[in-house]
Amino acid sequence: MPHIFSYISYVFFRLLSFLPLRVLYIFSDIVFFIIYRIIGYRKEVVNENLQNSFPEKSSEEIRKIRKEFYHHFCDLFIETIKLWNISEKEILKRCVLKNPDFLEPYKAQGKSIIAVTGHYANWEWLSSLALHNVGDFLPIYKPLHNKVIDKMYIKIREKLGAKTLAKNDTLRTMIRYRNQGKFTITAFIGDQTPNRKSLHYWTNFLNQDTPILQGAERIAKKLDQAVIYCKMTKLKRGYYEYEFIPISDNPKETEENEITERHTRLLENIINENPSYWLWSHRRWKHKKNS
């Protein structure tokens, strides 16, 4: 029975993707009313995350951020579905790369790149980078238990030319591309919650003790790949801008956890600029230090 519902969802989302965004945003507003006003989807998690992250803000400020987050969250959902059936012309108009020449020196050197980002703005539309002549763009993802929905997300993410990379295959695949002499950009989501076996490095992030994954830094040092941050900015509804920010061209020369700290601080600053566009429904702090 669950598989039947999965296939129905697959077909429904596929058909939904053919609608223009102006219509899909009406659908988004309806979904917002349902999950925010009626269901209250993960409201306790969102409230707790916001209050702990911004103890200096008033209840009215928290309420405003929370409401704007849910609006953005619903938009993010329909924008992800639309990615399945969006033209290259439209996505390039809606998702602009601010400094496209940034990569040229790295490509000239044949030095592949690790790009770190977070669950901010629209990280799914980051797959449009594959349209900017950046070599092989490899966004890392964690496979879902539901194989039908997992297949759907792979198709959506690869629609514009990205080559999704399953989390457990990351290092092996990156080594294979390196051995083939290919220039790659491998995208790491830097604000994933580590499992209990990976609680090795803690730092203060958004006023809370937070465990941070060190995978991007460790692989960068092992493969001697440059590390950059991909800053995402939401300009207005349905329009985004991406900017590459250098972190380290020579990761082997950095101190332990220096790269991890740099990309964590960049994300923290971005969130503080406009908190509404981070994924506050994510259980980021389910692990407690020394617990």
Residue partners of 17: CB distance under 8 A and separation at least 6: 81, 82, 83, 84, 85, 86
Predicted pLDDT of residue 143? 87
Domain extent listing, the chain: 2-277
What letter does residue 281 receive in the DSSP assignment? Answer: T
Predicted pLDDT of residue 194? 86
Give the mean pLDDT of 4-19: 89
User: Exposure string (b/e) for 100-131, b if CB count within 10 Å is 16 or more?
Assistant: eebbeebeeeeebbbbbbbbbbbbbbbbbbbb
Kindly report the pTM of this predicted structure.
Answer: 0.94
For residue 111 the two structure tokens come to: 């030095």
pLDDT tens-digit series, residues 29-88: 999 999 999 999 999 999 999 999 999 999 999 999 999 999 999 999 999 999 999 999
Cα 217 → chain centroid: 17
Predicted pLDDT of residue 289? 83
Predicted pLDDT of residue 149? 86
- What is the crossing angle of helices 2-16 and 59-82, to 10°? 90
Could you please report the per-residue DSSP string of 8-19? Answer: HHHHHHHHHTTS
pLDDT tens-digit series, residues 223-241: 999 999 999 999 999 999 9
Report the chain's mean pLDDT, rounded to a whole number.
94
pLDDT tens-digit series, residues 124-144: 999 999 998 888 999 999 888
pLDDT at residue 146 greater than cutoff 90: no
The confidence band for 2, taking pLDDT boundaries of 50, 70 and 90, is low
